Copies of this chain bind each other. A is one copy, B any other.
């Protein structure tokens, strides 16, 4: 199995996704929030790129959710903090979600055979699902404002580590994947500190959301593996 890591959504080329399993990673916070929402009982999450699309697509009973520059969108029921997506709020509801980078990355990955949403919270479950799909894997780090985001690279390294443990010596990584795997091995004993030292982590601290960072750093707290089916992420 070959694993390739793409450093930001802008680097994603469709030709690199065909016939592969794509794992979209946006640790702070889109994919962490999607995992939380589905685990809490939402019946699906529809990722859309723009606020207008979200409003147009939302049907009666749907929850509109999302952020721009880490802040909730005016008129939307929910922002992009995992803490908002409780069972009381989301059970049996469909969520229409737009975020700055994560939903763009999900749209970019549509040419892949399978699209999963990965984060630290579901890393092992996500790696296991990818291993079972028996395709080459592309880990697509969403990044932030067209730049590589530290937390997404760390998560890519963790998922590589887990896929290697499932698939043994038959796993090869591209150069960027090798670097992220090494970086994860260095940083694995200080995950929260690493997340807080990154650009997005620092921005979230300034906005009073450091609790979100700590929550998104909880490795393997969930078994939920969101998978894109049509235009909706659901648990398979």
How many of chain A's residues have a CB under 8 angstroms from any CB in B? 22
The verdict on A132 contacting chain B, using a C-beta distance below 8 Å, is no
Interface assignment of A24: CB less than 8 Å from any CB of chain B: no
A32 within 8 A of B: no
A182 to B175, CA, bound (A): 15
Residues of chain B contacted by A194 (CB below 8 angstroms): 178, 182
**Most chain B CB atoms below 10 A, which of A149, A176, A198:** A176
Residues on B with C-beta less than 8 A from A179 are 148, 150, 153-154, 179-180, 183
The dominant DSSP class at the A interface is helix
Check if A223 is an interface residue, CB within 8 A of chain B: no
Q: Is A175 a contact of B187 with CB atoms below 8 Å?
A: no
Q: Is A197 part of the binding interface, using a Cβ–Cβ cutoff of 8 Å?
A: yes
Assembly CA distance A148 to B7 (angstroms): 10
Q: Which of B148, B174, B182 contacts A183 (CB 8 A)?
A: B182
**A148 and B11 alpha carbons, distance in the complex (Å):** 11
CA distance A175 to B187 in the complex (A): 13
A199 contacts the other chain (CB 8 A): yes
Q: How far is the CA of A2 from the CA of B178 in the complex (A)?
A: 26
Residue of B nearest to A147 (CB): B175
